[in-house]
């Protein structure tokens, strides 16, 4: 961290040969949508694009088919005042977010638009598409960006979040980034602004060949039918670890989440043990979360798990091992048996209205 601070306070030389000095900054945000709305992680990518420079022209790319795509486009046009235009690719090839057709789409949009930057959220959607698109464009992407200083300098965590690396991009255009959405929260004034709606344009797909479809195919989509908030954007998250011992005991976490209006998370150990599906995994190889309240029960605090939740505003940990590493990052810690603590919490908490 000391190295990062010293680097940031040093006056940097001007590179007249830089690709960014020769033209205005323009950004393409590769956006994800569901149920007729652009996802919050993609709106955070728009927020991140603002930091690339003044006068940045931000275009949002949406793809899919049917009425939900048009609804998502209308939502994207008014979800953030910094959006200059919304590009819509309407084709059955994009009904499912497969990497090959999406990467081909990004390629042809970049060839036509000549953007200086391409940004996506560092979630399963962005991590699936952006590396393949970067390969087609012959550039090296910068992943998991948590801070942006101008058009070519970025900060990303390394060593499971225990160190921060400052990266200056000097490659050819476009500079491609994935950003951690939790590091770029959208201000309420931006999220609720509806005064200026961006124009919506259709992407010309006449040059989109069958070779862009690739060899992968969509099989099926499974999801849990629940009214709980999404894990990646929930204000409160309750997480269980291997200390819960079984899938049956994990139901206590679900009851607690219902009372708190929270999302349920899990450690990799709990997922590997088969207690819960892997879409609930929090950590370096799972979802990165930063809720207002993070409650960990039976979580030891492995470095990979802490990397995915250390930015939470308030961390509460319950573990019977007083030496568990989770207590080193917790704001409040209770050394106790979770099988006694959780039932007591359930008894004293009022029912969620």
Residues of the chain with pLDDT > 70: what percent?
A: 88
Does 6 fall in a domain?
no
Does 158 fall in a domain?
yes
Per-residue model confidence (pLDDT) at position 229: 84
Are 247 and 147 found together in one domain?
no
Most confident of 8-22, 82-96, 204-218: 82-96
Domain around 192: 26-202
Per-residue model confidence (pLDDT) at position 61: 96
pLDDT in tens, 316-341: 999 999 999 999 999 999 999 999 99
CATH number at residue 78: 3.40.50.620
CATH number at residue 253: 3.40.50.1220
Pick the more confident residue, 11 or 255: 255
Out of 52-66, 225-239, 282-296, least confident range = 225-239
- The band of 191, judged by pLDDT with boundaries at 50, 70 and 90, is very low
Pick from 202, 221, 247: which residue ends a domain?
202
Summarize the confidence of residues 185-208 as an average pLDDT.
76
Find out whether 153 is annotated in a ligand binding site: no
Does 103 fall in a domain?
yes
Are 190 and 250 found together in one domain?
no
Are 185 and 51 found together in one domain?
yes
pLDDT in tens, 68-77: 999 999 999 9
Find out whether 166 is annotated in a ligand binding site: no
Find out whether 182 is annotated in a ligand binding site: no
Find out whether 242 is annotated in a ligand binding site: yes
Find out whether 189 is annotated in a ligand binding site: no
Find out whether 303 is annotated in a ligand binding site: yes
Domains of the chain: total:
2
Per-residue model confidence (pLDDT) at position 137: 95
Per-residue model confidence (pLDDT) at position 3: 38
What is the reported pTM? 0.81
Find out whether 11 is annotated in a ligand binding site: no
Summarize the confidence of residues 275-288 as an average pLDDT.
90
Find out whether 268 is annotated in a ligand binding site: yes
- The band of 225, judged by pLDDT with boundaries at 50, 70 and 90, is low
Find out whether 267 is annotated in a ligand binding site: yes
Summarize the confidence of residues 221-249 as an average pLDDT.
85
Does 149 fall in a domain?
yes
Are 278 and 344 found together in one domain?
yes
Find out whether 282 is annotated in a ligand binding site: yes
Are 253 and 342 found together in one domain?
yes
Does 221 fall in a domain?
no
Are 140 and 241 found together in one domain?
no
Are 49 and 194 found together in one domain?
yes
Are 318 and 186 found together in one domain?
no
**With helix as H, strand as E and coil as C, how does the chain read?**
CHHHHHHHCCCCCCCCCCCCCCCCCEEEEECCEECCEECHHHHHHHHHHHCCCCCCEEEEEEEECCHHHHHHHHHHHHCCCCEEEEEEEECHHHCCCCHHHHHHHHHHHHHHHCCCEEEEECCHHHHHHHHHHHHHHCCCCEEEECEEECCCEEEEEECCCCEEEEEECCCCCCEEEEECHHHCCCCHHHHCCCCCCCCEEECCCCCCCHHHCCCCCCCCCCCCCCCCCCCCCCCEEEEECHHHCCCCCCHHHHHHHHHHCCEEEECHHHHHCCCCCHHHEECCCCECCCCCEEEEECCCCCHHHHCCCCCCCEEEEEECCCCCHHHHCCCEEEECCHHHHHHHHHHHCCCCC
Are 146 and 50 found together in one domain?
yes
Pick from 180, 202, 224: which residue ends a domain?
202
Find out whether 65 is annotated in a ligand binding site: no
Residues of the chain with pLDDT > 90: what percent?
A: 63
Find out whether 14 is annotated in a ligand binding site: no
- The band of 161, judged by pLDDT with boundaries at 50, 70 and 90, is confident
Does 171 fall in a domain?
yes
Supply the mean pLDDT for the chain.
Answer: 86
Are 168 and 57 found together in one domain?
yes
Per-residue model confidence (pLDDT) at position 57: 92
Does 46 fall in a domain?
yes
Evaluate if residue 17 carries a pLDDT over 90: no
Evaluate if residue 180 carries a pLDDT over 60: yes
Find out whether 299 is annotated in a ligand binding site: yes
Evaluate if residue 195 carries a pLDDT over 80: no
Are 283 and 173 found together in one domain?
no
Are 254 and 198 found together in one domain?
no
Find out whether 329 is annotated in a ligand binding site: no
Does 216 fall in a domain?
no
Summarize the confidence of residues 64-89 as an average pLDDT.
92
Pick from 147, 179, 202: which residue ends a domain?
202
Find out whether 196 is annotated in a ligand binding site: no
């Amino acid at each position: 961290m000391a190295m990062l601070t010293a680097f940031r306070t040093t006056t940097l030389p001007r590179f007249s040969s830089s690709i960014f000095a020769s033209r205005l900054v323009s950004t393409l945000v590769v956006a994800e949508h569901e149920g007729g709305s652009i996802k919050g992680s993609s709106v955070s990518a728009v927020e991140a694009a603002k930091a690339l420079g003044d006068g940045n022209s931000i275009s949002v790319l949406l793809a899919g088919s049917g009425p939900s795509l048009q609804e998502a486009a209308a939502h994207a046009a008014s979800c953030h005042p910094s959006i200059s235009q919304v590009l819509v690719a309407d084709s059955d090839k994009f009904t499912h977010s497969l990497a090959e057709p999406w990467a081909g789409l990004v390629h042809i949009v970049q060839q036509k638009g000549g953007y200086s930057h391409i940004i996506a959220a560092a979630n399963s959607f962005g991590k699936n598409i952006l590396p393949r698109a970067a390969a087609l464009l012959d550039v090296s992407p910068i992943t998991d960006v948590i801070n942006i200083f101008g058009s070519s300098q970025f900060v990303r965590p390394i060593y499971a979040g225990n160190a921060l690396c400052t990266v200056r991009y000097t490659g050819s255009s476009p500079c491609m980034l994935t950003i951690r959405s939790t590091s770029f929260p959208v201000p309420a004034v931006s999220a609720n602004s509806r005064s200026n709606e961006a124009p919506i344009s259709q992407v010309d797909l006449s040059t989109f060949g069958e070779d862009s479809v690739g060899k992968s195919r969509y099989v099926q989509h499974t999801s849990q039918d629940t009214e709980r908030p999404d894990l990646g954007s929930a204000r409160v998250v309750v997480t269980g670890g291997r200390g819960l011992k079984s899938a049956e005991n994990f139901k206590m976490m679900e009851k607690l989440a219902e009372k708190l209006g929270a999302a349920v998370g899990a450690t990799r150990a709990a997922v590997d043990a088969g207690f819960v599906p892997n879409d609930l995994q929090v950590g370096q190889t799972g979802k990165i979360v930063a809720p207002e309240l993070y409650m960990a029960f039976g979580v030891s605090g492995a470095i990979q798990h802490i990397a995915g939740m250390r930015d939470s505003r308030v961390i509460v940990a319950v573990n019977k091992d007083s030496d568990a590493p989770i207590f080193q990052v917790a704001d409040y810690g209770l050394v106790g048996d979770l099988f006694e603590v959780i039932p007591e919490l359930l008894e004293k908490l009022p029912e969620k209205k």
